[in-house]
Amino acid sequence: MKQKGLILTLCFVLLATVASAQNDTTDATKMKEEPAADYSKDHKSIDSTIKALYDVISGPKEKKRDWARFNALFYKGARLIPSGKGQDGVTRARMDAPDEYAKRSEPFFQRNGFYEQEIARKTDVFGNIAHVFTTYEARFSLEDEKPFMRGINSIQLLNDGKRWWILSVFWQQESKESPIPEKYLMTNN
């Protein structure tokens, strides 16, 4: 009898868990809720969304980035994907959620100034989707004559009829083996 009661209890717990999971709002097809602060100007256009992305990660060392503003740019389930060759020569990619990227990057930003600036852009739009190749330069200080790094961010966006959302930012740094092609050093907007 005790065993039957235990089995019934486990069944109810399992059913409650399944019902809870079905009502869970972590479904990647659902949008993130807007934060309390008003970042609406950041996502009115593709241009304002891209500018906000660069702005929020750039700043002097020890300046805490506005991660709420950063997170407000991204659609639920979005990914930031750095790629490149490891010391073993193998090319890899890491897929981070926006909050994982923030957690991973914050210590670097506390120790170093970091200014990533767009220098060129290629944009393709069809209906409510967009793909942007945005070429960047990175400096430790705005006064630095030369960037310490350049590369390309491949950004996919979705317009839900109200605003632009970033779905993914996939990037690669320039290297001797992969210099930035001339066509990605000119803007087509």
The Cα–Cα gap between 54 and 116 comes to 6
pLDDT of residue 28: 44
Residues whose CB is less than 8 angstroms from the CB of residue 169 and which lie 6 or more positions away in sequence, other chains included: 53, 79, 80, 81, 153, 154, 155
The Cα–Cα gap between 177 and 104 comes to 27
Residue 8 has pLDDT above 80, yes or no: no
112 vs 29, more confident: 112
Q: Place 189 in a pLDDT band, splitting at 50, 70 and 90.
A: low
User: Count of CB atoms within 10 A of residue 70's CB?
Assistant: 23
pLDDT of residue 36: 55
Residues whose CB is less than 8 angstroms from the CB of residue 175 and which lie 6 or more positions away in sequence, other chains included: 84, 85
- pLDDT per residue as tens digits for the range 129-186: 999 999 999 999 999 999 999 999 999 999 999 999 999 999 999 999 999 999 999 8
> Which pair of structure tokens corresponds to residue 134?
């945005």
At 103, is the secondary structure helix, strand, or coil? helix
In the chain, the domains with their CATH numbers are 37-185 (3.10.450.50)
Mean predicted lDDT score pLDDT of the chain: 85
184 vs 14, more confident: 184
